[in-house]
Structure 1
Amino acid sequence: MKQTILAIAHLSSLSLVTILTWYRPAIAANPEHLRQLLATKQCENCDLSGAGLVISNLAGANLRGANLTGANLSRANLSAADLTGADLSGASLFGANLTGAKLPGAIVMGTDLRNSYLGNADLTGVNLSTANLQGAVGIPLQLANYEQFYAWGVTAAERGIHQQAIDYFNQAIAIKPDYAGAYLARGVTRYQILDRQGAIKDAQIAEKLFTSQNNQNGLVTAQAFLKELQTPYTEKLDTGKPSFLNFVGSLGSLLLQFLPF
């Protein structure tokens, strides 16, 4: 079961590659439609399949019902753009700014939304189950479960992207307030960025939750972390005493053991 869960971070990428291959457009975008979009930002129901729109400024653009299958919109500015009913299957929106964008009914099968910005985006009726959301910011809570947010947090923490990891753990906790593992993971991540007080608070909450849930493994880990936090730095220099990371093995092994089943 753990091996299945550990594969979460890789499945999206593998699925994405498969779907992107399936949706690779056979023909290029309609050149007249492309010129119209860039000149006026008005291109409702346009054929922009396979269009190269990297870093394009399309803020407020009207792309209702547009065919954007396989289009490359990486790092494009689509803030407040209207993409209602647009087909974004297999498109790349890596790092795109979709803040406040309208996407009701949009098709995002295999869409690359990694590192995109989704704050205040209207995603009503959008099925994100096959989209790659790794690193996306502002994912509405109702569009993912706490397991997914935690898994994304683990991946971000292992990559050293600490604030992003904390944001994901925050979202996991918002959905499941008694998720002890998420508190512990957030505490360890805060410790990594020298937020000692925040780390202590999270570790104490995790300790209480693990106790109430009769999770002995989690309780022992939380107590070991608290001991680490409360040990003066000078004592840690004594190599004869085991450190917290010696106890858990590594940051990755610590966080992965609390991936939900």
Structure 2
Amino acid sequence: MKFHRLLALTLLTTIGLTTPALAEDLERVYQLTSTRECPACDLSRASFVLSDLSETNLAGANLAEANLNRTNLTNANLAGANLSRAILFNANLTGADLRGADLRGADLREAYLTGANLDGALLDGANLLGAVGLPQTIATPEQMYVWGLAEYQRENFRGAINYYNQALNAKPDFAHALLARGVSRFRMRDFNGALQDARSAEQLYLTQSNPEGHQISGQFIAGIEALQEAQAQGDRRASGAGGGNFMNFLGSITGLLFRFLF
């Protein structure tokens, strides 16, 4: 028996916490960290915060409510694992096998899922906000758009643009995402980028017979052009914050962007 396992068992015995169930749990944790093999193990509520569990075999394991915050699970075998209500915030699941895994209610915010196999995985109630590399079968362009709006509301404009980009990569004619990205670019003072997005959205709305979207994008274009003209003339008061009336108009656009989807 290696020293660190013996020490852990000794400490647990000393403070009177050793029970057959606890000792068994400790053995399973040791088995996983030492052999990287623990298929069908019961590791529910176990904590592996910041652990390196890359390429481990946890197929069919019970990891319900486990704390895997920022854990490295690159290329791990989690097929059929129970990860319901597990904390996987900022976990690295790149290339992980999650086929048939139960991820209902799991916290997957900002997790890395590039190349992960999620075929048949249960994701009802999972929090995927900020997750990277989600396949289109999991996150539709419309879902990406909603997440982008949520980031915009938090004034995380760069994060919002990232979601709109993903939505547009999957659905290039998504006019709402184009207009929303333009608004975020404007808030980041990328006026040329905002104008380009607004003009593209205006054309798409015209093609898609959406008069409301066409009108709003046209008003947005006019506001940006007026702001740029004021800047060219050196009117700092008009250009410094975008003008009070125009900023109020931006607020109304945001409300409409939420309503557009529904």
TM-score range, shorter chain: 0.7 to 0.9
Residue 237 of structure 2 is matched in structure 1 by 237
**Partner in structure 2 of residue 249 of structure 1:** 251
Counterpart of 1:19 in structure 2 is: none
Q: Is the 8 A contact 1:91 1:111 kept in 2?
A: yes
Q: Identity, % of aligned pairs? A: 45
| Unmatched segments (≥5 aa) in structure 1 | 1-26
| Aligned pairs, number | 233
Partner Cα separation in structure 2 for residue 56 and residue 205 of structure 1: 46
CA distance 1:41–1:161, shift in 2 (3 Å)? farther
- Structure 2 unmatched runs, 5+: 1-20
Contact 1:248 1:254 in 2 (8 A): no
Greater RCO, CA 8 A, separation 6+? 1
SS in 2 for 1:204: helix
SS in 2 for 1:95: coil
CA contact (8 A) 1:245 1:251 kept: no
Post-superposition offset of 1:254: 5.2
2:161 corresponds in structure 1 to 166
The reply to whether residue 211 of structure 1 matches residue 213 of structure 2 is no
Q: Report if the CA contact (8 A) 1:165-1:189 is conserved.
A: yes
Q: Over residues 208-244 of structure 1, what are the superposed CA-to-partner deviations in whole Å (9 max), with x where a residue is unaligned?
A: 11222332322222122222332322346249x7643
Residue in structure 1 matched with residue 88 of structure 2 by the alignment = 93
Per-residue deviation, 1:129: 3.0
* Counterpart in the other structure of 1:157: 152
C-alpha separation in 2, matches of 1:204 and 1:229: 11
Deviation readout 1:237-256 (Å, 9 max, x if unpaired): 249x7643222336743542
Q: Match of 1:186, SS?
A: helix
Pair 1:68 & 2:63 matched = yes
Q: 1:31 and 1:193 mapped to 2: Cα distance? A: 51
Contact 2:216-2:253 at 8 Å conserved across structures: no
Calculate the aligned-residue CA RMSD, in Å.
Answer: 2.3
How far did residue 189 of structure 1 move? 1.4
Pick aligned residue for 1:32 from 19, 27, 35? 27
Scaled by the length of structure 1, what TM-score is found?
Answer: 0.80
- The residue type equivalent to 1:228 in the other structure is G
Secondary structure of 2:137's partner? helix
Supply the AA of the counterpart residue of 1:237. Answer: R
For the pair shown, the structure with the greater C-alpha radius of gyration is: 2
